[in-house]
Amino acid sequence: MNIGTVVEIRDDLTIIHLKGDLYPHNIGLFQEIWSAQIRKSPRVVGIDCHDLNSVDSSAAHYMGNFAREACNREIKLVFYDMKPSILKTVNRVKQKDPLYIITKSRFEDEYVRKKAMV
């Protein structure tokens, strides 16, 4: 199984749309895209999980690493539109830094529409 990504940049908001399955053997691709985007120092990075089919506990642990890295760079990392099965896996993994996970509508209200109104 593979992971696909599409990156959308809106000023200081970056949205990474994930598609497929996130496992240790393919986390490298996401890591490359993540690193390239955070070097640009966006204010917010949103990870769209709508088309993410599955995540194992190792990949969920990596998500925590991304959250810690974002925090260290003063970037707000938001995971949104996560399926209940993936949320269950993510919640089972002990994270040093908790993940911020919200619904798609809340993400749009707080970051997309709010930005468009400014």
Task: Tell me how far apart the alpha carbons of residues 19 and 109 are, in angstroms, rounded to a whole number.
Answer: 23
Question: For the chain, what is the mean pLDDT?
Answer: 91
Task: Tell me how far apart the alpha carbons of residues 111 and 109 are, in angstroms, rounded to a whole number.
Answer: 6
Confidence of residue 1 (pLDDT cuts 50, 70, 90): low
Name the pTM for this structure: 0.91
**Which domains does the chain possess?**
3-117 (3.30.750.24)
8-18 pLDDT, tens digit per residue, is 999 999 999 99
Residue 96 CA to its chain's centroid (Å) = 16
Query: Considering just the CA atoms, what is the radius of gyration of the chain in Å?
Result: 13
Name the pairing type of β-strands 3-10 and 76-80.
unpaired
Is residue 116 predicted with pLDDT exceeding 90? no
pLDDT > 90 in the chain, percent: 72
Among 27-31, 37-41, 57-61, top mean pLDDT goes to: 37-41
